[in-house]
Amino acid sequence: MRLIMLGPPGAGKGTQSKLLSKKFNIPQISTGDILRAAREAESPLGLKVKEILSRGDLVSDDIVNQLVREKITSPECENGFILDGYPRTLGQANTLDYFLKEMLKYDLRVVSISVPRSILINRLANRRKCNNCNTEFNLTQSIKCPNCSSEDLFQRKDDNAETIAHRLALYEEETKPLIEYYEMKKNLFHFNGNEKVDILLNKIIEKITL
Ligand code: ADP
């Protein structure tokens, strides 16, 4: 199964991708996670994208296309993958189509998750990660890590009010047109992301396995 998770920042793409990855035993490819890891490792790529990430701007298509190509052609992706945060521009979507054609893989499905803007802002501003066990959660659910009760929490550098507004605007401009792009290809499924995690997960599984 080859899946794309499409939706604005804070829609829950990462949460659902991790669960779907376990369920179908295929890897989650999060371009955001890969870029943040490169930044933490201070690799040449990390140094190049550091400022772009903190501004909430998009990394160039060339860089992310290359990253994704390496991943999806690797042996661990032989049986499929879940793309989380890619493609994010029409240019990236066209390039992905080209990669898949080259690989003779045509079974792409797109999961589109929508959430009202006010809820997205609330979710992003309250998003925290536990420094102890890496669990991601929301301060509105709990003020301690729900997994290990640690109070040693971490907030993503781009989850501040100004950068959140910029990321949402970029989503509207650059990424939202992809909904129509995949609708025309008739491989897109719509979901309401303002639902409980397990309920949404079950709805996604039901639709994509039909
Ligand atoms: P979110 O969807 O919450 O904004 P991600 O973790 O998917 O977060 O991405 C974080 C940042 O990484 C983005 O703001 C952008 O700078 C960069 N990034 C991730 N994926 C892409 C992509 N496909 N194209 C360009 N930039 C990307």
> What percentage of the chain exceeds 90 in pLDDT?
96
Q: Give the residue, by CA position, lying nearest to ligand 1 atom 1.
A: 9
pLDDT band for 106, please (50, 70, 90 cuts): confident
| DSSP symbol at 7 | -
Q: Give the residue, by CA position, lying nearest to ligand 1 atom 6.
A: 32
Mean pLDDT of 45-55: 96
C-alpha of 200 from chain center: 16
| DSSP symbol at 82 | E
Please state the pTM of the whole predicted model: 0.94
Burial 30-40 (b: 16+ CB within 10 A, else e): bbbebbbebbe
C-alpha of 105 from chain center: 21
Q: Which atom of ligand 1 lies nearest, measured to the CA of 8?
A: 2
Mean pLDDT of 121-146: 94
Q: What is the pLDDT of residue 94?
A: 97
Assess whether pLDDT exceeds 90 at residue 102.
yes
Q: Say how many Å lie between the CA of residue 64 and the centre of ligand 1.
A: 10
Q: Give the residue, by CA position, lying nearest to ligand 1 atom 19.
A: 32
Contact 40, 46 (CB under 8 A): yes
Single-letter residue type at 194: N
pLDDT band for 44, please (50, 70, 90 cuts): very high
Assess whether pLDDT exceeds 90 at residue 202.
yes
Q: Say how many Å lie between the CA of residue 199 and the centre of ligand 1.
A: 26
